[in-house]
Amino acid sequence: MNGTIYNTILDAKQRGHKMLAVLVDPDKGEPQAWTALAIAAATHKVNLLLVGGSLMVHHRLEECIRTLKAACNVPVVLFPGSPAQVTPLADGILLLSLISGRNPELLIGQHIQAAPALKKSGLEVLPTGYMLIDGGAPTTVSYITNTLPIPANKPEIAAITALAGEQLGLKLIYLEAGSGAAKPVNEAMISAVSTQVDVPIIVGGGIRNGEAAYKACKAGADVIVIGTAFEEQPELLAEIASAVKSESKVK
Ligand code: 1GP
């Protein structure tokens, strides 16, 4: 828990350098595909690998992390859908508090269950205000968490929710349209949030090409997350990585 990952994100934000994270769902793919993904991530200078999912049925989390780590040095950060998804094999964890919802289990309950294992793990903990934003269709994360997303045309709600999260001490804000969302988080919403808070902003869900990644960065995203686009078309990584880099002040 030495703060290395968070300091890297903060440092990048201060330098105006946008970051790219690839989400790996251990329920999907095989070790061969994870190895290829890790090699591609290293080649395109991906900054973080997020591993996890809101619903994991196959218990392949540790195998997935071992495979990724054997093939690249990109930091692996857990993106847990439940307290069961804590393993010391990763480098850090997004400790998600679902601040857009009113489900107490996801605001504090599961964190209490996970706390002892988390302390023992030695993982770097990144306290994150996780906010679901309507992406145009119901998503797995909305169904599983039993929470409603913030309407996409209400940037002011997102902005004050993020502000409250920052005031509570959360170190990152994650604007999530949901994996495979029909529409990514819109620029007005990202911009409203980034005007309101100083902490780094992660944006993911439904980003499928370089243009969408570029627009999100320009609106104020500090870290872009892609999952589905890479799973479906691995060749898109080059385009998206280049778009994220092109919106960085330091190239
Ligand atoms: C989901 O934000 C991530 O939690 C990534 O979404 O799979 O749509 O890229 P996609």
Regarding the beta carbon of 23 and ligand 1, being less than 6 Å apart is answered yes
pLDDT digits (tens, 9 = 90+) for 14-69: 999 999 999 999 988 899 999 999 999 999 999 999 999 876 667 899 999 999 99
Contact 162, 191 (CB under 8 A): no
Mean pLDDT (the chain) is 94
Regarding the beta carbon of 207 and ligand 1, being less than 6 Å apart is answered yes
Question: Does pTM top 0.95 for this prediction?
Answer: yes
Which class is 4-246 in CATH? alpha beta
Q: What is the mean pLDDT of residues 106-113?
A: 95
Report H helices in the chain: 4-14, 31-43, 61-71, 104, 110-121, 140-145, 155-167, 187-196, 210-219, 228-232, 236-246
The CA-atom distances, in angstroms, between 235 and each of 89, 140, 141, 183, 214 are: 28, 26, 26, 21, 17
In angstroms, the CA 107 to CA 103 distance is 6
Regarding the beta carbon of 176 and ligand 1, being less than 6 Å apart is answered yes
Regarding the beta carbon of 229 and ligand 1, being less than 6 Å apart is answered yes
The CA-atom distances, in angstroms, between 91 and each of 17, 244, 249 are: 22, 23, 27
| 210 three-class SS | helix
The atom number, within ligand 1, closest to the CA of 177 reads 2
Domain boundaries, the chain: 4-246
Residue 181 CA to ligand 1 center (angstroms) comes to 8
Contact 190, 219 (CB under 8 A): yes
Token pair, residue 161, equals: 């929710």
In angstroms, the CA 2 to CA 15 distance is 21
Regarding the beta carbon of 228 and ligand 1, being less than 6 Å apart is answered yes
Residue type, 23: L
